[in-house]
Amino acid sequence: MDTLETYVAGHAQVSPIGDGMRMAIFDASARAYADAQIHDYRRRGRRLPHRPPLTLRLRARFSHPAAGLRGTAGFGLWNYPWARLPAPPRALWFFYASPPSDMPLALGVPGRGWKAAALDTGRVQALALLPLAPLAVPLMRSYAGYRLLWPPIQRAVGAAEAPLASRMDEWHRYAIIWGERRSALRVDGETVLDAPSPRGPMCFVAWVDNQYLVVTPQGRLGWGLLDVPGEQWLEVADLRIER
């Protein structure tokens, strides 16, 4: 983990633990953002260092089960879309969001909770659909319209998700196999998601924070912060990125 950088905001701390790192936020308030993060994004030079093919392996556990964690948290690969100029988000990661977050990317998968996910909103197919958004969003406010219109949009943005049954507060082995065309996300050796591969480049990130996000196909948008009494954390160990 020598090449990793840390970032903290508010009531947060990143500290070493044996062969890994602990990212923790504590006594966070809805009045201030709190974030504990490790990443290999570079402020200079090659800012997003990874392209496929690549395999990322690690062990991880959280301080709480899914029902007890507040905010968002996770680990994997993304393109840090707001680091400099805004860019269409892409990601391949294990992601958690608590209520009131609501970000349903895949038909039939809840917009919050613990899941494996892939996304690439910068695809040519996705950008070609942008002019149709003012028409599509109102139509998807009906159940029938959503069921009809969202599947082709989901394919265009390369969105795939799978809810995870593994307990967040227990150690598990996670792997992300990022291929040229297809990618696989695995928990304890079992493939939990097979998805179209996001394009590169991307960087590694692992974090825990106190924010929530709302972005729905029906046009609901929202962002805010949550109170997090006490401490909650993510521990990551045995991190390996193999090309």
Supply the DSSP string of 8-66, one letter for each residue.
EESSEEEEEETTEEEEEEEEE-TTS--EEEEE---SSSSSS-B-SSEEEEEEEEESS-G
Any idea how long the chain is? 243
Cβ–Cβ < 8 Å for 198, 118:
yes
This prediction's pTM: 0.93
Question: How would you write the pLDDT of the chain (243 residues) with one tens digit per residue?
Answer: 558 999 999 999 999 998 899 999 999 999 999 999 999 998 665 689 999 999 999 999 999 999 899 999 999 999 998 766 678 899 999 999 999 999 999 999 999 999 999 999 988 787 777 777 777 888 888 989 988 888 898 999 999 999 999 999 999 999 999 999 999 999 999 999 999 999 889 999 999 999 999 999 999 999 999 999 999 999 999 999 998
